């Protein structure tokens, strides 16, 4: 049952390079890595279990594969042994494997059934354990371990009233159901990235449980004419990682920006905004709708706009064009004025500043705008495309320099707030 979360805390890691080989884990489990048991059943979507297993390992998990006899007809044990680095369990033997992994003192952290067929879903819901996968599920649920199911079947099966009833029964028991991708007459297994994210979420500390978080992100534009814009070279990656980490840690997250988080669909609500005025309007409207605890604003919003009326159509490029730019009013200032109790975490890009100058300007910006926190960086010191960046965290609780990948920075920022 996911909400009990009685396991060692999981610290998300950046995936290894795609070309890298995941390291094989020990059969008894490695205390430094959470152990995921991956149950494979008789859906053709089992052919994707190989890549899922590898991706879990790239994200810092050990994986033990358990297969039903029907699952073995879809993908071979040898393939899954290669993917996991462990001997596959396809029958319950004298070692009482289901108890070893998911008993009260079991060594596994989470049971993931992917793919989960209508047959397996209904058996688990009814407490029937006549396959290795359903037997593991019975013990995991009974012991209060997190259980995740990723359904995969034809759509009429997914829409069968009894299957729907059984899914609801499992949800009521604390089982997490990862919604399938409904395409045509298929209810296809969720994307691998989405499944891995749900595993990370289930095993992450819930520091932000019960909190609402708004994230505004991306390289936002300002119009010149109807097809030309002023913009910047922001990647939007830090905003994406912040939204994902907040969701992992239990927050209800809304993301507004121009780089939508499709791989987190179903977990993070996303709304597209490409232009500065559009972003501002959508942020203020969303904050008006409900109480938010935190707002993160790593969005790179243009500091200037074209003075006067917007140019319409496509300006003729055969003649010189002079544009006068004027400073835009800061969205952060409008948000602070309208929502004085909102905890705002702002981000500031500086250029060619010493560390002491960055620290001084960051502290002044927090005080001037009544912010909860600001995260500042020098874009001249490190290219925006750098995999690792240094940033100065300046908040009420701490003032410190942090460095890492976007994912590591996001985790550090949330840890400090």
Q: What is the pLDDT of residues 243-298, one digit of tens each?
A: 999 999 999 999 999 877 777 777 899 999 999 999 999 999 999 998 999 999 99
Do 81 and 53 contact (CB within 8 A), yes or no? no
pLDDT given for residue 358 in this prediction: 96
Going from the N-terminus, what domains does the chain have, and what CATH number goes with each? 35-203 (3.40.50.1950), 212-313+322-416 (3.40.50.10300)
pLDDT given for residue 385 in this prediction: 76
Q: Check whether the bond before 207 is cis (ω within 30° of 0).
A: no
- Report, as ranges of residue numbers, the positions in the chain whose pLDDT lies below 50: 1-8, 12, 14-31
Residues 65-99 as b/e (b if ≥16 CB within 10 A, e otherwise) read bbbbebbbebbebeebeebbbbebbbebeeeebbb
At 104-161, the pLDDT tens digits run: 999 999 999 999 999 999 999 999 999 999 999 999 999 999 999 999 999 999 999 9
Query: What are the tokens at 327?
Result: 């400073």
Of 327, 370, 364, nearest to 345 (Cα)?
A: 370
* Cα dihedral: 175, 179, 185, 188 (round 10): -90
Task: Round to whole Å and give the CA distance between 148 and 234.
Answer: 35
pLDDT given for residue 114 in this prediction: 98
pLDDT given for residue 10 in this prediction: 56
Strand order in the sheet with 153-154: 153-154, 186-188, 181-183
Task: Round to whole Å and give the CA distance between 203 and 410.
Answer: 17
**SS3 state of residue 308:** coil
pLDDT given for residue 397 in this prediction: 81
pLDDT given for residue 26 in this prediction: 32
> pTM (2 decimals)?
0.84
pLDDT given for residue 261 in this prediction: 78
Give strand pairing partners of 377: 349
């Amino acid at each position: 049952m996911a909400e009990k979360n009685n396991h060692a805390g999981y610290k998300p890691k950046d995936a290894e390079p795609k070309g890298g080989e995941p390291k094989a884990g020990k059969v008894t489990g490695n205390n430094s890595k959470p152990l995921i048991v991956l149950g494979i059943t008789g859906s053709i979507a089992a052919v994707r279990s190989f890549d899922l297993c590898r991706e879990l390992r790239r994200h810092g998990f050990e994986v033990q594969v358990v297969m039903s006899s029907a699952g073995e007809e879809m993908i071979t044990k040898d393939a899954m042994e290669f993917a996991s680095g462990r001997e596959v369990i396809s029958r319950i033997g004298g070692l009482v494997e289901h108890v070893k992994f998911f008993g009260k003192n079991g060594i596994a952290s989470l049971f993931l059934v992917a793919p989960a067929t209508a047959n397996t879903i209904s058996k688990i819901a009814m407490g029937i354990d006549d396959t290795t996968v359903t037997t593991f599920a019975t013990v995991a649920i009974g012991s209060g371990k997190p259980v995740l199911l990723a359904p995969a079947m034809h759509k009429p099966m997914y829409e069968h009233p009894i299957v729907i009833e059984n899914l609801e029964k499992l949800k009521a028991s604390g089982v997490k159901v990862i919604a399938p991708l409904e395409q045509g007459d298929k209810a296809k297994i969720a994307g691998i990235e989405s499944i891995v994210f749900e595993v990370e979420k289930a095993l992450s500390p819930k520091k932000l449980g019960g909190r609402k978080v708004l994230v505004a992100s991306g390289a936002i534009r300002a119009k010149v004419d109807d097809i030309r814009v002023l913009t910047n070279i922001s990647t939007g990656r830090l905003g994406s990682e912040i939204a994902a980490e907040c969701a992992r840690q239990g927050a209800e997250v809304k993301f507004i920006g121009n780089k939508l988080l499709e791989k987190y669909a179903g977990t993070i609500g996303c709304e597209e905004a490409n232009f500065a005025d559009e972003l501002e309007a959508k942020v203020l409207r969303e904050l008006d709708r409900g109480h938010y605890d935190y707002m993160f604003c790593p969005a790179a919003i243009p500091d200037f706009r074209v003075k006067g009326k917007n140019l319409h159509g496509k300006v003729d490029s055969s003649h010189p064009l002079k544009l006068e730019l004027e400073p835009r009013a800061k969205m952060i200032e409008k948000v602070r004025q309208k929502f004085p109790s909102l905890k705002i975490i702002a981000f500031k890009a500086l250029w060619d500043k010493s560390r002491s100058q960055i620290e001084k300007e960051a502290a002044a910006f927090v005080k001037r705008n009544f912010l909860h926190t600001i995260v500042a960086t020098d874009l001249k010191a490190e290219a925006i495309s750098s995999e690792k960046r240094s940033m100065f965290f300046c908040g009420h609780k701490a003032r410190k320099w942090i460095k890492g990948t976007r994912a590591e920075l996001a985790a550090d920022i949330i840890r400090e707030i």
